[in-house]
Amino acid sequence: MMTGGYLLIVYLAYLSFTASELPVLQFETHQTLTLTPSHFTANGTTELFTVCTKKCIQHESLPEELTVEHQLDYETAYLNGSRTLTTVVVQIPQSNIKSKKQSHATFMRRRRQIYGPDIRFSIRSQRFLKEFPFAAAVQVSTGCTGVLVTERHVLTAAHCIHDGHDYVQGARKLRVGFLRPGSLPSLRWVRVKSTRIPRGWIGSPVELSMDYDYALLELRRAQSQPHMRLAASPSLENLAGKRVHFSGFDSDRPGELVYRSCRVQQQTVHLLYQHCDARPGASGSGVYGRLRHGDRWERKVIGVFSGHQWVEVSGEPREYNVAVRLTPPKFAQICYWIRGTNTSCHYK
């Protein structure tokens, strides 16, 4: 099956841009192809481990417009296992973007750091569990975490449902669980209607797979819980305290929602490197920061927690926990997935 294309104009911005400097990203859906149904044969993992060598670091230094081609094509999978691949043409008109100093991935050489005392703490208060932002955290039935970003959409890590080659076995009857506070907390499970993952995740080299480790789940019915809004990941200078926060269902604390916060150590075009303590099960958590919005600060999701990465610096390995940044093209893609039309997506 093939459908004709149409043009999607998406308005968005890095937070370092002013209102008059909003870059315009153009998505033109080229065609939609029917794929063979998924066999759900992959063995899932609740935490992703990768190694980034010198070649990988050089790739992370490239401007996104040089590496984005074909990566934002996307695959949609449905309850019955049917799949489609939608190809897109992405244009980033240079006339819409004022010249700015290009940042590059640089890593200072240090001895391996120990993360130190466990800075996580469990959210046990029934009142907090019902309120923003903790109420937006959900557990994915494959053993990961996700974050509610609209009344019926959950953002999570791609590796929680797909291993880069096929969907994991647990994705056949995928569900998300909402925590019900009480003396004995339990989960209220909701079925997933469809999933979407970027082509940049499918078949990518292992060392680059984290760049597109995100997925959007559409629920069968709308939810009443508070949800978190998305934002394009800003420069560290525009992130309050250069800190990120996320809450997840870490496997070593079953039945509990675990919160943590830490400073970002390094940032590349695609990734946030930090030392927030995390255990398997936290993958897919919505990573959020406090961003300036007019005269106030707001907490918004700017990334997805992926897992653990060793980075080779001058022949010496260093370790980090890593989150995928929601760059403007990724933000625009997710916004389009949510809206499903060629309406404009404005960052507000």
Would you state the pLDDT for residue 294? 83
In contact, 336 and 345? CB cutoff 8 Å: yes
How far apart CA 15 and CA 13 sit, in angstroms, is 6
> If you average pLDDT over residues 187-203, what whole number do you get?
94
In contact, 339 and 345? CB cutoff 8 Å: yes
Model confidence at 67, in pLDDT bands (50, 70, 90)?
low
The 10s digit of each residue's pLDDT in 117-138 is 777 889 888 888 889 999 999 9
**Whole-number average pLDDT of the chain:** 80
In contact, 140 and 160? CB cutoff 8 Å: yes
Would you state the pLDDT for residue 66? 46
How far apart CA 177 and CA 218 sit, in angstroms, is 13
Model confidence at 15, in pLDDT bands (50, 70, 90)?
very low
Would you state the pLDDT for residue 13? 33
The first and second tokens of residue 69, run together, are: 């081609």
How far apart CA 305 and CA 144 sit, in angstroms, is 10
State percent of the chain over pLDDT 90. Answer: 48
The 10s digit of each residue's pLDDT in 222-266 is 999 999 999 999 999 999 999 999 999 999 999 899 999 999 998
Burial class (CB in 10 A: 0-12, 13-18, 19+), 117: exposed
More confident residue, 8 or 76: 76
The CATH number given to 6-97+107-339 is 2.40.10.120
For residue 201, is pLDDT > 70? yes
More confident residue, 7 or 67: 67
> If you average pLDDT over residues 45-68, what whole number do you get?
63
b/e map 66-96, b = 16+ CB within 10 Å:
ebbeebbbbbbbeeeeebbebbbebebeeee
How far apart CA 248 and CA 133 sit, in angstroms, is 12
pTM, entire model: 0.83
More confident residue, 41 or 175: 175
Would you state the pLDDT for residue 43? 83
Q: Residues 6 or more apart from 282 whose CB is under 8 A from it?
A: 47, 144, 145, 246, 248, 249, 250, 258, 305
